[in-house]
Structure 1
Amino acid sequence: MGIFRSAASLNDRLQALGEAAEIGGSRLTPAEHAALTRVATAAQERRALSGDHTVVGFFGATGSGKTSLFNAVVGENLGQAAARRPTTSSPLAAIWHPEGSEELLDWLEVEDRRTRPGDFTKKAGPLILLDLPDFDSVEPVHREIATRLAGQVDVLVWVTDPEKYADAIIHDDFIRPHALHSDITLAVLNKSDRLSETDRQTVSRSYAQLLSDDGLRNVTVISTSATTGYGIDELRTAIAQVSAEHTAQQRRIEADIDAATATWAGAKPPKSVPNSAKRALDEALTTAAGADALADVTAAAYRKRLGQKTGWVLTAWMLRLRPDPLRRLGLREEADTSDVHRSSMPTLDAASKAVANRGVREYAARVAEGLPEQWQHAVGDCTEQVVEKLPEELDRVATRTKLPAQPSGVWNIFTLLQWLALLAALVGVGWYLAIAFLPGIITPLLGETIPEVEGWPVPTLLIMAGLLLGIVLGLFTAAFGFAISAVIRSRTRAALRDEVSEVSGTVVEDPLLDIRDDYADFLAKISLARG
């Protein structure tokens, strides 16, 4: 991979700008979204029209001599041909090489069109000069026209005079909003014939400083006089030079993109949400889902089932008379992935919901860190939707979790021993009964005397061993069951926490992080749009 990357094309930049507007959507302020959309749309429309013509707009306040200057640059008083145009009330276009300009002028909504013969200059090429309504006119429609065309023309010519060059309306409402358009801006100090040479230089420097304060870089002030013709050739040369380069349209679009995306210049996506935030969320939701209570129930079910399986046979049957703790709640050991089965566990109470809500909101706060205000609002709105949906999802956690309440097959050995112990005791009892009631059968087989071991009759030993072994095994497995149930409780809580983690990932984490990821994607598109 090379060290240097080629700059993005204007097509790529405009596409990225449109995608940024789409990603931002309602998470941008209306003004921000409108600016991105307007630039992307207007640029595409402008590029689809004549690329040969350079459109130069003359903008100025009432009394600045803008129209007189326009006529001087054109070389003819075009206003004389229109009796209804005593002042600049609608745009007027002077066109050199009009071929292909009709759709462009339609897009600019300029109806008054005057074709000029020949060339503006030898190298200027196709050119359109626009004389626009005064932007400080008392007529709102005139101001609207000037504002609209200030966002559409390829080159901006700001015309002022020694009396109004510092007026706030010029700088605050028009020049400063186009501060990034220095490359396609010409500044004119008209009516300079009213000043001495020294004053003219002083006022020009002052005007240039104001433009610099507005944010325009390296804009030269051209002093003119429509009355004497002073500076007209210099202005014509400047216009011709911009037109001859045939880059004004592109530079205008690039400046529009920079202006529309200036809010996010240098912005970096926030850092990843720490894993500890997700762990804290899962812990809060696990607690809210009643994991501790369910872990206790599972441990109790394990002890009961282990007692039924390995307890003393003569008493273990009584455990079956007690209801199974899990089945009493409608729970099964196997996980229900179909979400068809429902348990009898109580729904989340107010306290549990409060714990869950607090956990979600704390996690959302970490997600919102480093995001702009509108994106933080989006995280907040999404959080409210999550909080509303979450209790139902947590209610299903128990049925989705495999609960380790069934003793393993290893305990079957103890079950077998219990039955062998019982069998031994029964053999001893049966031996004595046979001697008492069936001597005719036992005596021929075993003789007159009962076998002994260390002075203990074998039937007695069988009875005692069987009973004691059963009791000892029962006590041993019961004690061991209590110890294992602590492990079962821990395993159950861990299993529930894993299930809660999946639920929180789908219901909480994903939608909230999507907003954060969208912001990162938005900034990536903005960065590409800025080239």
Structure 2
Amino acid sequence: MSRHRQARAESSLDRSLVALNEARELGEGRLDDATLEQVYGVLERASSRRSLSADHTVVGFFGATGSGKSSLFNAVAGSDAARVAVRRPTTSEPLAMIWGMPGSAPLLDWLEVADRREGTPVPGLTSDAGGLVLLDLPDFDSVQLENRAIVERLAGQVDVLVWVVDPQKYADAAVHNDFIRPFSSHAAVTLVVLNQVDKLAPSEIKPVLDSLAAILERDGLGKAQVAAVSALTGEGVDGLRTRIAAVVKAKAAKSARLAADVAVAAQRLAEASGEGDAAGVHQQDRKQLAAGLADAVHIETVVSAVGSSYRLEATRRTGWPVTRWISRFRKDPLRRLSLRREDSSELNRTSLPPAGAAELARIDSSIRGFADAASEGAAGPWRASIRSAARSNREVLPDSLDQAVAGTDLKANTGAWWWPLFAVFQWLALLVAVGGLLWLGGLAVMGYFQFPVPETPKVEGWPLPTLMVLAGVVVGIFLAVSSKFLALAGAKARAAQARRRLRESVAAVSQVLVGEPVEAEIAHYRDFQAALAAAHP
């Protein structure tokens, strides 16, 4: 691989690791901990491997008991360092053969390989190939659990995986299901070796290789390289050395291995997250939420009180002065609800009944409906997180809604333009009527005491003081009746204005305490999806 291509691969890996870590962090508290822990382990291993020798390629030989793995290791390494035996256990500790550049010690410390040997030059394997570490590992079907644990750990750490199988057990389901198939995404750094082909007739080799290739295809490793060798006779060993040398020389195995690990981790996150996208929050959803919450806090009770308060105040201001005093004994409904401002100060509480079971149920139903609509289409864990976000302020919502109602300017202290006009005419009409009554009273007193009674002016034959009384009373009653109709119309308008203002206040609270947390969680979900998409190298 050219330096340019290698640098480009490293840069791509950098971006994938950053994106994977971002996706992991965004999944915290939403996805299951086991998956997040696995992803964190991948990130830690990647960070550790990249901080260690980039000049060495670690190639691990993995195989079941009887596959001839250690014999093949010796044949490839040109050594007899690996222990070969028939009875279990054979290899019990990993063995490292090292060629090339210095600096492998920290890498082997990280791999926890204590048995280290300096390899001698091997034609076709080490010439101009760069640093190489060959690992002979315990049998992955060892009866000793600690050996199996070593194999599982190092399978997650080496740069190149060499799976050694034999003609008798190459199709063993346990071998494929437990070990080979989990690394199906690592085809670029996987070699599959059919050892002991010397035990097959020449005519049997190709059918066995074809069968093995078909099984690997089902395992997801259709692109993995497959080699037929015999550690005993040396058949195919040179070719295997050449393949390993080519991988080492390219110096791409480490990045390819880590990229495959990232792809697997990203896939696990994707599976834990599930597919789909949230519908999001729409204006109609906001309106339905606000309407439901408004009903739950009885704003229609307040609206009705606004209308009644307006009519009462109109009667007090424009009613017939002779009878309007009666309205003083009626208590203002807004004052009963603690919603009439006596000054410009803000109100903090109303006297509306506290939210009971029915109101709380209505609040919960409105929140649930809003969250369900917003999370429609999202995968299960994210639907749950969006619903949780919608309920995050549930405890403070009733009190906040009450404060919103209390803080709404209902224009309760604002009168109508016609009130002063009607009041003036009412008092003028009353003065005219009283003036007429006083005139008539004066004439009656003069007649009673036998004083000469002056002639009373007449209009169309009607005595003027009598007309004054009649006119004053009729006009006063007419104005009072007219004011009732005007007050009714004004009350409807004032109530409609109050309803609109109250709904706006409730909508503002619902947006802050319900809408914004839901929108933030949906944005969080989409950031996770974007990071997950970027994590795929």
Normalising by structure 2, report the TM-score.
Answer: 0.89
One-letter amino acid matched to 1:94? M
Do residues 499 (structure 1) and 505 (structure 2) align? yes
1:420 maps to which of 428, 431, 452: 428
Shift of 1:346: 0.8
The Cα offsets for residues 434-477 of structure 1, whole Å up to 9 and x where unpaired, read as 666799xxx9xxx9544433333433333332222222111111
CA distance in 1: counterparts of 2:215 and 2:345, whole angstroms:
71
1:356 maps to which of 363, 371, 376: 363
2:234 maps to which of 212, 226, 229: 229
Do residues 314 (structure 1) and 322 (structure 2) align? yes
1:164 maps to which of 161, 164, 169: 169
1:152 equivalent in structure 2: 157
Report if aligned partners of 2:278, 2:375 keep a CA contact under 8 Å in 1: no
Report if aligned partners of 1:16, 1:525 keep a CA contact under 8 Å in 2: yes
CA distance in 1: counterparts of 2:282 and 2:348, whole angstroms:
36
2:383 equivalent in structure 1: 376
Do residues 400 (structure 1) and 419 (structure 2) align? no
Shift of 1:101: 1.6
Do residues 54 (structure 1) and 57 (structure 2) align? yes
CA distance in 2: counterparts of 1:507 and 1:45, whole angstroms:
43
Normalising by structure 1, report the TM-score.
Answer: 0.90
CA distance in 2: counterparts of 1:281 and 1:150, whole angstroms:
53
1:3 equivalent in structure 2: none
CA distance in 2: counterparts of 1:124 and 1:434, whole angstroms:
135
CA distance in 2: counterparts of 1:392 and 1:139, whole angstroms:
64
1:41 maps to which of 36, 44, 53: 44
1:480 equivalent in structure 2: 486
Report if aligned partners of 1:424, 1:463 keep a CA contact under 8 Å in 2: yes
CA distance in 2: counterparts of 1:207 and 1:89, whole angstroms:
28
Report if aligned partners of 1:336, 1:400 keep a CA contact under 8 Å in 2: no
Do residues 298 (structure 1) and 303 (structure 2) align? no
One-letter amino acid matched to 1:110? V
Correspondences of 1:132-151 after superposition (within 5 Å): 132-151=137-156
CA distance in 2: counterparts of 1:334 and 1:432, whole angstroms:
45
1:239 maps to which of 219, 239, 244: 244
Which runs of 5 or more structure 1 residues have no equivalent in the other structure?
1-5
Correspondences of 1:175-186 after superposition (within 5 Å): 175-186=180-191
CA distance in 1: counterparts of 2:29 and 2:152, whole angstroms:
26
1:281 equivalent in structure 2: 289
The Cα offsets for residues 66-107 of structure 1, whole Å up to 9 and x where unpaired, read as 1111111111011369xxx97221221111125122221122
One-letter amino acid matched to 2:129? A
CA distance in 2: counterparts of 1:138 and 1:275, whole angstroms:
64
CA distance in 2: counterparts of 1:175 and 1:236, whole angstroms:
21
SS at match of 1:59: strand
Q: CA RMSD in A?
A: 2.8
CA distance in 1: counterparts of 2:331 and 2:471, whole angstroms:
32
2:211 maps to which of 206, 213, 223: 206
SS at match of 2:93: coil
Shift of 1:524: 0.4
CA distance in 1: counterparts of 2:308 and 2:409, whole angstroms:
16
Q: Taking every aligned residue pair, what percent have the same amino acid on both sides?
A: 42
CA distance in 2: counterparts of 1:58 and 1:280, whole angstroms:
64
1:173 equivalent in structure 2: 178
**Could you say if the C-alpha distance between residues 133 and 415 of structure 1 is closer, same or farther in structure 2, counting changes exceeding 3 Å?**
farther
CA distance in 1: counterparts of 2:426 and 2:39, whole angstroms:
81
**Could you say if the C-alpha distance between residues 414 and 407 of structure 1 is closer, same or farther in structure 2, counting changes exceeding 3 Å?**
farther
Shift of 1:336: 9.6
Aligned length: 517
One-letter amino acid matched to 1:168? A
1:65 equivalent in structure 2: 68
Report if aligned partners of 2:96, 2:113 keep a CA contact under 8 Å in 1: yes
Shift of 1:40: 2.1
CA distance in 2: counterparts of 1:17 and 1:215, whole angstroms:
23
Do residues 99 (structure 1) and 102 (structure 2) align? yes
The Cα offsets for residues 276-322 of structure 1, whole Å up to 9 and x where unpaired, read as 22222222111111122221122111111111111112222221211
Which runs of 5 or more structure 2 residues have no equivalent in the other structure?
1-7
Report if aligned partners of 1:79, 1:86 keep a CA contact under 8 Å in 2: no
**Could you say if the C-alpha distance between residues 151 and 403 of structure 1 is closer, same or farther in structure 2, counting changes exceeding 3 Å?**
same
Do residues 13 (structure 1) and 16 (structure 2) align? yes
Report if aligned partners of 1:331, 1:399 keep a CA contact under 8 Å in 2: yes
SS at match of 2:133: strand
CA distance in 2: counterparts of 1:9 and 1:466, whole angstroms:
95
